Amino acid sequence: MRTLVLGAGGIGGYFGGRLLQANRDVTFLVRPRRAEQLARIGLVIKSQYGDYHHPSPPTLLAENLRETYDVILLSCKAYDLDDAMNAIAPAVGPETVILPTLNGMRHMDALIDRFGDRALAGGLCFIASTMDDDGRILHLNPNHTIVFGERDGRRSARIDAIAAELAHGAFESRLSDSIMQEMWEKWVFIATGAAITSLMRSTVGDITAAGGTPLVQALVGECAAIAARSGFAPSDECVERSKSTFSTPGSTLTASMYRDIERGGRTEGDHLLGDLLRRGESAELYPVLRTANIHLATYEVRRARLEAERT
């Protein structure tokens, strides 16, 4: 099976690298700067599950992409999705399966609009990873899991083939017969953490100490209500896990969106919070989520203005 991995960063580089480690047919579609890094130091993974170094991983620049692939592993920031779809377009043939690992749902709509319903499988991942200044991939926690499946829950020859391929990698992979439900439940969890830590600009422990637990509980309820309205009511376990995780005394947990704000970077606020809010009956019904979304939108307006003023 020929696999194209968009990017070779913390997510794509990790999972693609582990497949490459297992001698699978993997090519990384990268930008020029990352191509130069990989040519200079190779693909380097540092992980508690074992380090890996490939001195010369197979890479392609978008302008050199000519062939179609069996599977495209799509991991990018939501705000880079349009560029990502343009980049992978030459690789999408009649039998190609696109396996995205982004959070939320808006990317699913965009991918179906661009490539058609048949091309798209459902997917998500659980991993904390980043790249250091030299381009090495640092795996930060015990999680390294990909979950995937046909969006209608059926078993198919192609999804079984993908399951067999991913099973070679030195990471956890799981074929789900309810992938859309799992994607929605992760969205509820991720949106809660992103909203509360970005809105309050602090850790879960600080928010809890300041009396923020009722806000967390309200936020979970709002996100869960929108999921239910969309036909994917989260399980009681999901709701309780979200409430407990984001109201744990002393927790140093923050969402990646909050960390993006702290470094002055672009966020996925509209993709994760704005799109969720738009799927609700009326924004006024979800006051905490609405406030968090406006907070992030204001940050993005200010960030863009300051960037324009500097140029």
Catalytic residues: 186
b/e sequence 191-207, b meaning 16+ C-beta within 10 Å: bbbbbbbbbbebbbbbb
> What is the spatial distance between Cα 57 and Cα 28, in angstroms, rounded to a whole number?
8
Residue type, 95: E
Compute CA 200 distance to the chain's CA centroid, rounded to the nearest angstrom.
23
User: Among all chains, which residue has been given the structure tokens 């495209």?
Assistant: 72
Q: How far is CA 63 from the centre of its chain?
A: 25
* Token pair listed for 225: 């209500």
Lookup result for tokens 């017969």: 177
Rounded to 5 degrees, what angle do the CA atoms 121, 176, 138 make?
80
